[in-house]
Amino acid sequence: MTDQGAPAYDGRRSSDHPKLDRKLNERAKQDGNGLTRAIVMLKPGCSVDTEIAKAGGKSGYKFNVISGQLVQLPNGQLRKFADNPCVAAMHYDRKTGGELNYVGIVEGARQVQQLLGYDGAGIGVAIIDSGITGWHDDLTYQGFNAKVKVVNGQRVVKFVDFVNGRTAKYDDNGHGTHVAGIIAGHGLVRGLAPGVTLLPVKVLGAGKAGNAHWLAEGIDYAVAHGARILNVSVNGDGASSELEDAIVRAQNAGAVIVASAGNDGRDLSAQPSYPISYPEPAVIGVGATDAFGRRAAFSNFGAGVDISAPGANILSLGVAGLAYRSGTSMAAAYVSATLALEAAAAPTLPAGELRDALLRTARAGAVDAAAAVHAVTGKTPRKKKRRKRRARHNSRSWTRSSTASAHRTVTQRR
């Protein structure tokens, strides 16, 4: 099993505390009277409110999306506090980061789980990416819902590798595992749809490179094995008729493809990227927002970008432990998870209607999980009053356009 407690970073020294990230280890060695804000990741069922007070600290916001809370502690108490057996890991609270932003934007997903009972159970989500780690505690399942499929202790029912042809699960980049945690984490990182069945399809190598042929094969494989939602965090500059044919087959089979916009900060209206720029309505293009809800500077925009979601400095699963990553890939994972909640709530609804509900209920162009589920069920989580917010969204042509046939290089944009 992987150790979820140790934040990974390069240059870790033997004197560093294993539960503290680089910044907290640095601050722990500074003046003991200084104060530091940190995100404390807690083990399931644990509370540290009493320990925070004893350490001379202050308790802050308790997160619903991740199992933890915000605290303020004296620098001299950081290491001692991390020794507490209830503490799994501690991360410095980066004031300009995106971890708090995504909590607010997708809070509705937690309400959907807790108040309506929908967690994605019975829905297959393919992660067409760099693979998935062989084991992670956050991808297990401890519940009793018969719809949740578990194989060898993990909610990962199959794995296929179009890059190296290996049969055992692995991720030599970590990107696919990070995406999986945003969608389906069920522990220290609580994904938006922790009941989904995962189907990792490896089409990217360790250096994040692949090709259109592998991607087309991966889409066909995912659809053939029952995935309704395909998360495709892959981008390339050249169109391929082979890839578009696979997208059409997926669309005809009732699947939806969530495609990241890419991280070049460019206008896709002038310079397309694929698969997001294909016109098929089954393709949902996702851009990224920053910590302030604005379009992230790195996010592509323009034609083909239908919706946005948080993508700056997102905390999720790593191959070993937890990791922060930024990119439209992270944003795409939030959208895929929201679609899984919709599909679990309305399992007979066609993919096109799930897509329309997702886009119709976006607020200021950003995903709103609670509103999307309400749109397909008529049920509203009543934890607190919600204002009705709608945003216009891009529409795609229902006519397939011809594209040049090519076996082109596809690179993942993170």
Is 329 part of the annotated catalytic residue set? yes
In the prediction, which pLDDT does 214 show?
92
401 vs 202, more confident = 202
Average pLDDT for 53-82: 80
Query: Which of the listed CATH numbers 3.40.50.620, 3.30.70.80, 3.40.980.10, 3.40.50.2300 matches domain 22-93?
Result: 3.30.70.80
The predicted structure's pLDDT at residue 391:
45
Question: Of 5-9, 40-44, 195-199, 313-317, where does mean pLDDT reach its minimum?
Answer: 5-9
Tell me which of 47-56, 107-116, 224-233, 288-297 is least confident: 107-116
User: Which whole number is the average pLDDT over 284-306?
Assistant: 91
pLDDT one-digit tens code per residue, 251-283: 999 999 999 999 999 999 999 999 999 999 999
Residue 308 has pLDDT above 80, yes or no: yes
Assess whether 175 carries a catalytic annotation: yes
- Helix axis angle for 328-345 and 351-360, nearest 10°, is 120
pLDDT of residue 11 exceeding 70, the answer is no
Angle 136-331-145 (CA atoms, 0-180°, nearest 5)? 45
Tokens 């909610």 — which residue?
Answer: 155
In angstroms, the CA 409 to CA 62 distance is: 44
Q: What does the pLDDT look like over 207-255, one tens digit per residue?
A: 878 789 999 999 999 999 999 999 999 888 888 999 999 999 999 999 9
pLDDT of residue 66: 57
Q: What is the predicted pLDDT for the residue at 183?
A: 94
**Could you tell me the CATH superfamily of domain 102-399+404-411?**
Peptidase S8/S53 domain (3.40.50.200)
The reported pTM is 0.72
Mark whether 267 is an active-site residue.
Answer: no
In the chain, domain spans: 22-93, 102-399+404-411
Listed in sequence order, the residues at least 6 apart from 230 whose beta carbon sits closer than 8 Å to its beta carbon are 125, 126, 128, 219, 222, 223, 250, 255, 256, 257, 258
Q: What whole-number distance in Å separates Cα of residue 277 and Cα of residue 302? A: 10
Is 380 a residue whose pLDDT tops 60?
yes
Residue type, 413: R
Active-site residue identified among 16, 119, 129, 137: 129
Task: Report pLDDT digits (tens) over 136-173.
Answer: 888 888 777 888 888 888 889 899 999 999 999 999 99
- In the set 233, 299, 329, 336, the catalytic residue is 329
Q: Which of 17, 91, 136, 175 is catalytic?
A: 175
